[in-house]
């Protein structure tokens, strides 16, 4: 599978899998850090470019609640994507109730934002729904 570097989000300060990760693969099969790497936080939607120095060391493992596969991840990860089935579960950092609470709050906020954006798009779409006279 393609490398999935974990970084700490500059927007919400959480560590988790990326919503969007665009990079070129280098000759070694790893991320080509000489090229621009675009990264978007799955938790809060923050979009940024990342560099190799931001990548966190993988010093822990996450066990998938669904398929029991162990996925290596940083100990500071609040969310981890299972490398086998793709299920996104709670990372080791959520053993800290403060981080678990922060994660819930940020995800709820982001969810609301997405819904508002969706509603705005729907209201701008001339074919959707009744139009004001």
Counting residues that bind Zn ion (by CB under 5 A) gives 15
Q: Give the C-alpha distances (Å, rounded to integers) separating 78 from 60, 61, 113.
A: 12, 12, 20
Q: Rounded distance, CA 107 to CA 12, Å? A: 10
Binding mask 32-51 for Zn ion (x = CB under 5 A): ---------x-xx-x-----
Whole-number minimum distance, CB 37 to Zn ion, in Å?
Answer: 16
How would you label 16-35 residue by residue, b for 16+ Cβ within 10 Å and e otherwise?
Answer: bbbeebebeeeeeeebebee
- Restricting to residues 79-118, name those near Zn ion by CB under 5 A: 82, 84-85, 87
Contacts of 125 (CB under 8 A, 6+ apart): none
Compute the chain's Rg from CA coordinates.
Answer: 17
Q: Is 9 in the site for Zn ion (CB under 5 A)?
A: yes
Q: Is 12 in the site for Zn ion (CB under 5 A)?
A: yes
Q: Rounded distance, CA 21 to CA 6, Å? A: 10
Closer to Zn ion by Cβ: residue 4 or 84: 84
**The binder of Zn ion chosen from 4, 11, 58, 60 (CB under 5 A):** 11
Q: Is 78 in the site for Zn ion (CB under 5 A)?
A: no
Give the range of 25-33, 62-70, 94-102, 111-119 binding Zn ion by CB under 5 A.
Answer: 62-70
Q: Which two tokens stand for residue 85?
A: 């089935």
Contact residues for Zn ion (CB under 5 A)? 9, 11-12, 41, 43-44, 46, 64, 66-67, 69, 82, 84-85, 87
């Amino acid at each position: 599978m393609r490398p999935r570097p974990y970084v700490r989000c500059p927007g919400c300060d959480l560590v988790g899998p990326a919503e969007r990760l665009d990079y070129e693969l280098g000759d070694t099969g790893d991320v080509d850090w000489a090229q621009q790497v675009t990264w978007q936080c799955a938790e809060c939607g923050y979009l940024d470019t990342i560099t190799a120095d931001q990548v966190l060391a993988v010093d822990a493992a996450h066990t998938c609640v669904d398929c029991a596969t162990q996925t290596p991840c940083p100990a500071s990860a609040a969310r981890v994507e299972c490398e086998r089935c793709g299920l996104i579960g709670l990372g080791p950092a959520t053993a800290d109730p403060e981080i678990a609470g922060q994660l819930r709050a940020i995800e709820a906020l982001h969810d609301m934002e997405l819904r508002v954006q969706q509603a705005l798009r729907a209201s701008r779409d001339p074919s959707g729904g009744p139009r004001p006279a």
